[in-house]
Amino acid sequence: MFRLYKGLPGYFKRRKLFQLMLLIILIAGMITFYVTGYIMTGSSKNLFTVMAILLALPLSKVTVILIAVFPFKGTDPDAFSEYRERLQFGQLMAELAITNPNLPTLWAVYAFVHGREVILYTKDRKEQKTDTATLKKQEDFISGILAASGYQVNLKAFAAEDKFKNRFNDLTKKELNDDEELDTAVIARMISKLAI
């Protein structure tokens, strides 16, 4: 029920909830260790304080992930189902936030992999128009990572849903052979791994 599946609608909502619960548990653990050590020894110079301090490391990691995921809204499950119904060949994913150290995070509302063709529908998280130069750099970044793994792909990111929908309808009707189906699965998994 609570399993997090990257690439499905509702992922960001579940991920936020999971990270928030983990954050609360780690803070409670830190406080518990510190207070227990202080009550037992009457001083903060003990092993329990060291354990509380060591919990700060995973706490900071959880906090960073929560901050990174927090601004992203989930996709509409009905719209995803509509795309899924038209899907004949290929693999469809939703809610992917792909990070790049030099560019803003790319929020892929939908990602569709068909053989070595990859199309993304992206939105700026503030619902503003996406800059085409930045979008091109993000396309090159993702294509470069896939190429380094031995998969030359034709990747196109669309800022307009109607253009994505047209290309999706064209691609989904083309049959895939066994090698292309394997490429589809591997490339979709690699894109999923790039996302937070």
pLDDT tens digits for 24-83?
A: 999 999 999 999 999 999 998 999 999 999 999 999 999 998 888 888 888 888 888 888
Mean pLDDT across the stretch 169-194?
85
* Cα 191 from Cα 176, distance rounded (Å): 19
- Residue 14 half-sphere exposure, CB side, CA atoms within 13 Å? 13
3-state secondary structure of 74: coil
Predicted TM-score of the model (pTM): 0.79
Residue 97 has pLDDT above 80, yes or no: yes
pLDDT for 125 equals: 55
Torsion of CA 133, 135, 137, 142, to 10 degrees: -170
The answer to whether the beta carbons of residues 176 and 115 sit under 8 Å apart is yes
pLDDT for 1 equals: 46
